[in-house]
Each structure stands twice: as structure tokens, then as C-alpha cells.
Amino acid sequence: MEPHDAAAEPASLSQEVIAAPSQAGIALVLTVRPDAEGDVKDVLADLGGMTRAVGFGYQQDRLSCVAGIGSGLWERTYGRPLPADLHPFRQLVGAIHTAPSTSGDLLFHLRAGRLDLCFELARQLMIRLAGSVDVVDEVHGFRYFEQRDLLGFVDGTENPVGAAAVAAVRIQDAAFTGGSYVIVQKYVHDLGTWDALPVEEQERVIGRHKLSDIELPDAEKPANSHVAVNTIVDADGTQRQIVRANMAFGTVGAGEFGTYFIGYAARPDVIETMLENMFIGNPPGNHDRVLDFSTALTGGLFFVPTVDFLEAPPGSSTDAPPTTTGKAQADGSLAIGSLKGTSTS
């Protein structure tokens, strides 16, 4: 979790949507059963504490868990107003390729330097949520060589960093300051067809060189390459950016080789425009060639509120974060001293 940097207002903690590439990750997409909203709200309030409990002994492995909430669940759980741009994922039907919209109320995106930490936190979350939720998708991701996807290309190079990353993902000017939106899609690749392509042709599909990861010069980069269709520049020349945290995943026995796309943004329309460029094309027909080798199986859009919101949502009886979870102190400690202070001995 990172401190919010607006000096004039009380500090609000954003969830850790910006993180260095990790060795391991898990994406869990859940639906919430009727009348279980209160249980889910309680677990979300405890998420920070649970993450610290599992990861505390392994600081170097930086366990994190981002929770995203879908539009239907938001209204059922937190009521109105909804975050302004929160809506169900919009299916896109192009002439050849489709981006489906699939069910999901809640997203947990877990990352760490080792899979066991992600796995244990996911397990603890599911113990708490037993009887309240159904898992509609669970993907265990791994780092593949030097942060490559299963097509063999380095993935994540052009992610913004530092202040540019914060500007790309964090809502600054609205009721939900410090929050973000996240879109996820599960893609599977036709690796047989892909591997049969000469490397030079693969590079023209992606728009970068495979070994060196250097971007192709504009004169050589096809308009339907993945990089070209996803480079969105406003009229004033400003590039609209998102922060991606894609995970490689697969099951060799089943011949399943995939990329789990996870894109964070301060406004979902940036990602939605990229998806329109990919699936419909701009101009229509100029679809992203990566889709000729990749099929989208799922699609979901979620809002990522701040840690403060999750721990003490408006209208809850708590106006301070729950003491059971213990909010991290500015120095990163768990304020054990204050516990001692409550002792009667």
C-alpha cells in the first residue's frame, strides 16, 4: 500500500495496484451469493490485516492483494453513489474477434515473490468467504524467463513508472480519490500456429523485436501490430497510459497456454478504447493481429477503492479502521507498542 500524496487532505491509502513485476500471482474472480454482502464487506475490511499476517515474515517477497468490486456487487454492498465510471464489462464484437463479458462480482489480484504466499492468502480468504461466494475463475500465474509472455515476448516494458504510473491509475479529482479501475481478460494462445510463424513475422505482429525487446521503427511497424493499436495519443499529443500486470499461465497436459491480462487505469475508457482498437479496429477492420493467435475467454471490470474505504466504508458503525486488522503505521510497523499500552498489568 502506498501513501496518497495529496498534502491538503487526510492521508488515504491506495491499494497496491502499482508494483514491480512479481515472480508469482493469482487472480481469483468470485460471485457473491444473495445476502452474503455483509460477510464480504467484513472480509474486505480485514484484507490488509490478513495480507500482513501471511506476508509479514517474508517482507522481501512483497505479498500484496488488490481487491476489485464489480458494479452489481458495489450497489448491493455499499449502495449509492457508485464510482462514476463503474459499469459491467462491455462485450466487443468485431468482424472476426469477440471480447466476451463474463460473470464476476469480486476480483482478488495477489502478487508475491513466491507462489506459496499468494496461495496461502487465497486459501485464508476462501476460508473466510466459505458459503458466501462461488469461484468463477482462478488463474495461477508465473514469471516466464525475463518477464515474457508465452508468445515469447517481453511483456510490460512500456508500462509507465513513478509519477506517470500514479497519474495513469489513480483517481485524483472525484469522490473516490485514490481509487482505480481494473479490467481483466483471460486469453489462451494457439501456440502451434504461433510457433510456426518465422520470428520476423511474430515481431511484426507484436511491433517489437523478440530477443532484444527493442520497438520496431515506425516505418517497419504494421498498423495492426499490437503495439501500434495500443498506442493512444490525444489531440494534444499526450499518450494515454495504463498500468499492466499480465500473468503467464498454462497447463501443458491440456495444451492451455495463456496470458491473463490485468490493466489498471484511473478511467476505464482508456482501456476500453484500446480494446475497441484491438477487437474492432480503428479504422474498423484493422484488428490487432495478436488476436489471430489469442482468444479472449473472459472479461470483467472492477473498481479498486482505497484501503481506507474498505476498512471503514461510509455508513459503517466504525469511523476508525477496525482494531483487529490494525492499520499499518507510517513507519510500516504494526503498532505493537500501542497494544502494550492497553494492558491493565
Q: Which residues bind ligand HEM (CB under 6 A)?
A: 149, 151, 153-158, 185, 187, 206, 208, 226-227, 230-231, 242, 244, 259, 261, 263, 271, 274-275, 290, 294
244 vs 287, which CB is nearer to ligand HEM? Answer: 244
Q: Which residue has the cell 482498437?
A: 277
Exposed/middle/buried for residue 335 (C-beta within 10 Å: 0-12, 13-18, 19+): middle
Cα-based distances in Å from 208 to 153, 221, 282: 8, 8, 20
51 vs 241, which CB is nearer to ligand HEM? Answer: 241
Shortest Å, Cβ 340 to ligand HEM: 48
77 vs 294, which CB is nearer to ligand HEM? Answer: 294
Catalytic residue among 46, 61, 155, 288, which? 155
Active site residue 155: yes
Shortest Å, Cβ 170 to ligand HEM: 17
Shortest Å, Cβ 55 to ligand HEM: 27
User: CA–CA separation, 95 vs 235, rounded Å?
Assistant: 28
Q: Which residue has the cell 502494550?
A: 340
CB count in 10 Å sphere of residue 162: 8
Q: Which residues pair with 180 in a beta bridge?
A: 304
Q: What are phi and psi of 206, to 5 degrees?
A: -85, -40
14 vs 202, which CB is nearer to ligand HEM? Answer: 202
Q: What are phi and psi of 330, to 5 degrees?
A: -60, -30
Is the Cβ–Cβ distance between 168 and 161 less than 8 Å? Answer: no
φ/ψ region of 162 (left if φ > 0, alpha if ψ in -120 to 50, else beta) reads left
What is the H or E stretch that residue 311 is in? helix 307-311
Shortest Å, Cβ 202 to ligand HEM: 10
Q: Which residue has the cell 481506507?
A: 308
Cα-based distances in Å from 31 to 40, 86, 107, 191: 11, 17, 9, 31
* Amino acid, single-letter form, for residue 163: A
Q: Tabulate helix, strand, coil % of the chain (nearest 5).
A: 30, 25, 45
Shortest Å, Cβ 149 to ligand HEM: 4
Shortest Å, Cβ 260 to ligand HEM: 9
Buried b (16+ CB within 10 A) or exposed e, 48-63: bbbbbbbbeeeeebbb
73 vs 92, which CB is nearer to ligand HEM? Answer: 92
Shortest Å, Cβ 235 to ligand HEM: 18
Nearest residue (beta carbon) to ligand HEM? 158
Exposed/middle/buried for residue 320 (C-beta within 10 Å: 0-12, 13-18, 19+): exposed
Catalytically active residues, by annotation: 155
